[in-house]
Amino acid sequence: MFMNFIRNNKLVAAVLTFLRVYIGYQWLTSGFGKITGGQFDASGFIQGAIVNSTGEGATVQAWWGGFLEAVVLPNAGLFSYMVMWGEFLVGAALILGIFTNFAALMGVTMNFAFLFSGTVSTNAQMVVITLFLIIAGYNAGRYGLDRWVMPFLKNHLTNHREKEEKDVAIA
């Protein structure tokens, strides 16, 4: 009953639109600040998380610190690029309501990476709000570009699949 309500009710869609735009604005402004603020470099943040993954008062789990040290730190330039553009693009997609579920999923993924790295800030709040967007599915993007894009893609993919099936049947 709750799932039907959150996924189909138009009043809920309006509330979700407000939440979606709020979360999108948070991501967009954060990413934009990193993109336009000069050379963004996450290596200091990464090194801090690695340091905080050892010792008695560790605030970062050891397995995450190991991942950061072995994979992320050697590729800090790539990860810095992915963070700033990921934040910006997730924000833009959420504000516009295009590919809303995918954008929300990528936003939650970034939030969890920041939380795993020992940052609290607003990340936990953003995770909770974004989970409602993901659970709501299509309804979260009802008042956005998903309203037109998703039916178009569904139609296009259905026509493409039918053509392929027809071609296979002929061959």
The predicted pLDDT at position 15 comes to 97
* Percentage above 90 pLDDT, the chain: 82
Mean pLDDT of 53-74: 96
Please report which helix (H) or strand (E) contains residue 62, including its range.
helix 62-67
User: Over 70: is that where the pLDDT of 171 sits?
Assistant: no
Local confidence band at 162 (pLDDT 50, 70, 90 cut-offs): confident
Count CB atoms within 10 A of the CB of residue 52.
17
Q: Is 119 helix (H, G, I), strand (E, B) or coil?
A: coil
pTM, 2 dp: 0.89
Within 8 A by CB and 6+ apart from 34, the residues are 40, 83, 84, 87, 88
Structural domain boundaries of the chain? 2-145
Question: In degrees rounded to 5, what are phi and psi of residue 163?
Answer: -65, -45
Residue type, 99: F
The predicted pLDDT at position 153 comes to 86
CA-CA distances (angstroms) from residue 55 to 8, 50, 118, 150? 49, 11, 14, 49
Q: CA-to-CA distance for 51 and 70, rounded, in angstroms?
A: 13
CA gyration radius, the chain: 20
